[in-house]
Amino acid sequence: MAGIQVSGLLSNSSFDWKAIVDQLIEAESAPVKKLTADKTDNTDKTTALGSIKTALVELQDSVQAMRADNIFSLRTVSSNVAATTWKTSSASNTPVGSYAIAVSQLATKAKQAGRPDVGAPLSATNNVAGLTLANLNTATAVTAGTFTVNGARVTIAVTDSLQDVFSAISTATGGDVTGTYDPTEDKISLQSASNREVLLGSTVDSSNFLAAMKLANNGGDTVASSGKLGTVRLYTATVANSGLATAASGTGAFSINGVAISYNASTDRVADLLDRINASAAGVTASYDSTNDRFSLANTTTGDTGMSINDTSGLLAALGLTSGSGGAFSRGDNARFTINGGAAITSMSNTLAAAAHGIAGLSVTVDTQSAQTLQVASDSSSMATYVQGFVTKFNAVQNLIEQNTRVTVSGTTVSGAVLAGNREVEGWSKRLRSLAFDQIGGLTGSVKRLDHLGIDFNSTTGQLTIKEADKLATALADRPSDVSEFFLSANTGLVAKIYTGLTTLMKDDTTQQNNLGKANLSIDDQITRLQAKLAAQRETLTRSFIKMLDAQSTAATQQKTLTNAFDQKNNN
């Protein structure tokens, strides 16, 4: 008998059941693909809405900047002197106008000038053999090198004594010029024994000895120091050892303008004392002039104000700063000026502010006694920049709305942008145009619409354009208060209207984004459920085909067994 026939799948050993399963599942996956495409579309819409919202925020920021910076009250100040060193500034709403300012006197600081020559002499006697050049209390430290006397070169070192220098001068000049020191005058003298003119210095001198000793040619046979030589050591010794002519010791305190300053003469340096005064609340600056060997105090502010000194310890007297010790107080001056030829005005400061001259917001810092005419004008350039910024940001929003909602027709093909058909978003463009171009009611000035400023509207693109720049410039320069009223009137001005309108649009934009986000969450949930169902279907199909293959294998085995049995029977 013929063998058992298992037709179809059983006879097709090359059957790819896995491909069949994939094809079946692929066919069942169409809803997932549709949902995935919907999610991608929603995501694209969310992205587009996000870009529009960003542009709305930037537009809102631009109008808010007009309000926050009060731009239509900005002013500029210019002088009729091209290279003026006066410094000027103006605040918002400074009255526009021309101001001729004539300064007849600058403000100066009150000063307590100390007595000159408060330092002790270089030596108490005329014996200067023990005075080393490196340790001299002179205003300028002596440097090593050479100097010239009567054409003879004299070489010195800082380790030499002052007497060594006198001896070197005598040797170099063949004994003709001798040097001496007078402790009473605190001066050096160089004298010619031959009554010849003493000629000092040359272009090749390398030591500053002659300058440090205040020696200069006078055409005579004797040259003496032009001033006393001894000065005060500020940094290299304590107050007690600083070389003051009137010695100071111990601890104590004094007060300046009611502020107490304490000191310890055994540990503080004079420089420390000056720093302590300057850092205090006394309102003065203490300094030392080594050339004239004197201390001074000056108020930190200008004007005709006093200075009180209370020297209970005697240190200020030692510094020569009290009236009884030779110090002298000089009052400061107030600045004196006129405006537009009016009465004289005084100011304690050289910064002439509104408190002195009465022009609100105008400040002029003067440094010369001269006359200048200052012109205060509207800062139309800055104003125009803000207006242009508003126009640019407005157009950016309109561009994005148009780009994302447009429908393009090419022949018989119609294609739409990601938000095409979204009537709400398309309506935003019209709402913005209405906000920008509707007339502002309740205004008293001449500017009630944007076109009164030369700003036109393109009905095709929905964009703004500054069509008449001259018209805008004239309004900003000549009628800034009208422009300010139009833009900045509380609640009713253009800025308030657009700001409020944009807030509503941004809320609507956010609502749409949130709805799309919720839709995508729902899609994710549907996709998850469908994918779980497809996975179960795949598992069922896989098990079915495996059972089928098992059945095919069993049938093949049975067929082979029967065939073998019949073959054996026939052979027997």
Region of 340 (left: φ > 0; alpha: ψ -120 to 50; beta: rest) is: left
Spatial separation of the C-alpha atoms in residues 201 and 179, rounded to whole Å = 15
Arithmetic mean of pLDDT, 39-66: 94
Eight-state DSSP code of residue 94: P
Which pLDDT belongs to residue 8?
46
Which pLDDT belongs to residue 333?
97
Which pLDDT belongs to residue 524?
85
Which pLDDT belongs to residue 13?
53
First to last CA, the chain: 15
Share of the chain above pLDDT 70, in %: 97
**Banded model confidence at residue 287, pLDDT cuts 50, 70, 90:** very high
120-139: pLDDT as tens digits: 999 999 999 999 999 999 98
**Banded model confidence at residue 7, pLDDT cuts 50, 70, 90:** very low
Spatial separation of the C-alpha atoms in residues 562 and 90, rounded to whole Å = 115
Spatial separation of the C-alpha atoms in residues 570 and 572, rounded to whole Å = 5
The tokens of 487 are what? 């833009």
Most confident of 362-371, 415-424, 534-543: 362-371
Backbone angles phi, psi at 53, to 5 degrees: -65, -40
Arithmetic mean of pLDDT, 257-279: 96
81-103: pLDDT as tens digits: 999 999 999 988 899 999 999 99
Range with the lowest mean pLDDT among 194-203, 289-298, 451-460? Answer: 451-460
Which pLDDT belongs to residue 5?
37
**Banded model confidence at residue 572, pLDDT cuts 50, 70, 90:** low
CA angle 373, 378, 384 (to 5 degrees): 140
Which pLDDT belongs to residue 14?
61
Arithmetic mean of pLDDT, 242-257: 93
Range with the lowest mean pLDDT among 308-312, 477-481, 547-551? Answer: 547-551
515-567: pLDDT as tens digits: 999 998 998 888 888 888 878 778 787 778 778 777 777 877 777 777 777 77
Check: CB of residue 393 under 8 Å from CB of residue 58.
yes
Contacts of 36 (CB under 8 A, 6+ apart): 523, 527
Average pLDDT, the chain: 90
Contacts of 224 (CB under 8 A, 6+ apart): 185, 187, 188, 189, 190, 215
Backbone angles phi, psi at 262, to 5 degrees: -100, 160
Q: 3-state class of 505 per DSSP?
A: helix
Check: CB of residue 200 under 8 Å from CB of residue 210.
yes
Of 5, 7, 25, the closest CA to residue 539 belongs to 25
Of 228, 268, 229, 231, the closest CA to residue 248 belongs to 268
Arithmetic mean of pLDDT, 24-43: 81
Of 194, 195, 215, the closest CA to residue 147 belongs to 215
